[in-house]
Amino acid sequence: MARETLEKLECKTVHYVSPSDKITVASIAFEIVPAYNINKFREPGVPFHPKEDKKIGVIFEMNGQRIYHAGDTDYIPEMADFSPGIDIALLPVSGTYVMTAPEAIEAAKVLNPKLVIPMHFGAIVGDRAMAEEFEKGVSFKVEIPSID
């Protein structure tokens, strides 16, 4: 779906990536990491985001900071491999299709970032209360974005 959309936009340069890829664009290094569900299902045994679909999260470095954008994912075992060294983590907290606040709390503890930004709430599913529940459950600095 994203590929077809990008092709219609006639972008100058498009990089198609899969988990475990590493690319550099405009001197920014990107590590492509997996994003998938392990306990969120459309129907029994059929996850919303199956690992086989090769959906992604991204770790990149800018201004000396390693930033992890988790994408649409549950708390997955691979997250233990992203640490140490994540300075900023953007973690979904809305449940249904991605981590619940308690699952995101566990992911944050494994990632051990300096700052966490909860995301993916307030639009399709979830609300600010989920981000606030997340914030109460961690000892890290948390910035909850406005969804106005």
91, pLDDT greater than 80? yes
| Band of residue 123 on the pLDDT scale cut at 50, 70, 90 | confident
In this structure, is residue 9 part of a structural domain?
no
Q: Give the model's pLDDT for residue 7.
A: 79
User: Is residue 117 domain-resident?
Assistant: yes
The answer to whether residue 111 sits within a structural domain is yes
Whether 120 is covered by a domain: the verdict is yes
Would you say residue 75 lies in a domain? yes
18-55, pLDDT tens digit by residue? 999 999 998 999 999 999 999 999 999 999 999 999 99
- Domain-located, residue 13: no
Is the pLDDT at 81 greater than 90, yes or no?
Answer: yes
Question: Residue 46's domain is classified under what CATH number?
Answer: 3.60.15.10
**pLDDT(70) > 80:** yes
Domain that holds residue 92: 18-142
Model confidence band, residue 86 (pLDDT cutoffs 50, 70, 90) = very high
For residues 58-86, average pLDDT: 94
Instruction: Determine the average pLDDT of the residues in 95-101.
Output: 94
Q: Report if residue 28 sits inside a domain.
A: yes
CA dist 127 and 118 (Å) reads: 11
- 5 domain residue, yes or no: no
The pLDDT, as a whole number, for residue 148 is 65
The yes-or-no verdict on residue 121 having pLDDT over 70 is yes
User: Rounded distance, CA 128 to CA 131, Å?
Assistant: 5
Split into its structural domains, the chain has a count of 1
- Residue 10: pLDDT band with limits 50, 70, 90: confident
What pLDDT, on a 0 to 100 scale, did the predictor assign at position 1?
Answer: 62
